[in-house]
Amino acid sequence: MDFKFTNFSIVVLAKANNPSILNPDFLKINKIVDSNYKVKDFICTPPVAQVSFDEGISIITEFERLQFIDNIQKRIPCDSQIPKVAVKYIETLPHVNYIAAGINFVGHYQFEDNTLANSFITGKFIKEGSWLSQGDGSTYVCLKFIYSFGKIKCTISIDSAEINKADGEIVPVIVVHANYNLDVKGNNIAEIKKFISDWRIQHEQFVSFLKKTFF
């Protein structure tokens, strides 16, 4: 089975962030994004602002949350620019009280049908027993694993689902979502920047988990 990454995002939690600062000019003037990026969508309201670019990158800011998102499958996560974008954004606004950061990977394995997808999860992780035959019909199972790597907390969720392909075909998949979270004290910007810049460490851990779990 081949794992296909579908979304790569970085989330930074903050206190008293000002969403109205976010706009395309602000991002380009401060060299947070490339000056050649073309704006696809821009929304600015008091509680939330969002800038999306044709290049597949979106930035969303709220009072307590910043999100940097990339969903271009052919480049994520290894060739994505969002780690650099997130670090540059934080450097541009050092007065904001940043309290945590998260790195998220989302992707899926494709199956021939829903039965195979569901049976893979139960067969791989769940011991046979009466808990798999309660109620009417088949038993639906989703899983969550929580790990600690020093100060970093990792949560990995495994679930079966269906996705719609561009040609309209509905495909059964197993979706795997990994979140790596770091909490900091005293607005330690340097620690958050290092965590984001070292995202490849978390990526390698996630890939290792996938190989050991699904093969």
CB 181 within 8 A of CB 152: yes
For the chain (215 residues), the mean pLDDT of every run of 10, in chain order, is 94 94 97 96 95 97 98 96 98 95 97 83 83 75 94 96 83 96 92 98 97 86
Q: Are 167 and 90 in contact (CB under 8 A)?
A: no
Domain definitions of the chain by residue range: 4-128+138-214
Task: List residues bridging with 11 in a β-sheet.
Answer: 67, 102
Dist CA 24 CA 98 (whole Å): 22
Residue 198 has a CB neighbour count (10 Å cut-off) of 13
Task: For the beta carbon of residue 116, count every other beta carbon within 10 angstroms.
Answer: 13
Helix (H) or strand (E) holding 210: helix 199-214
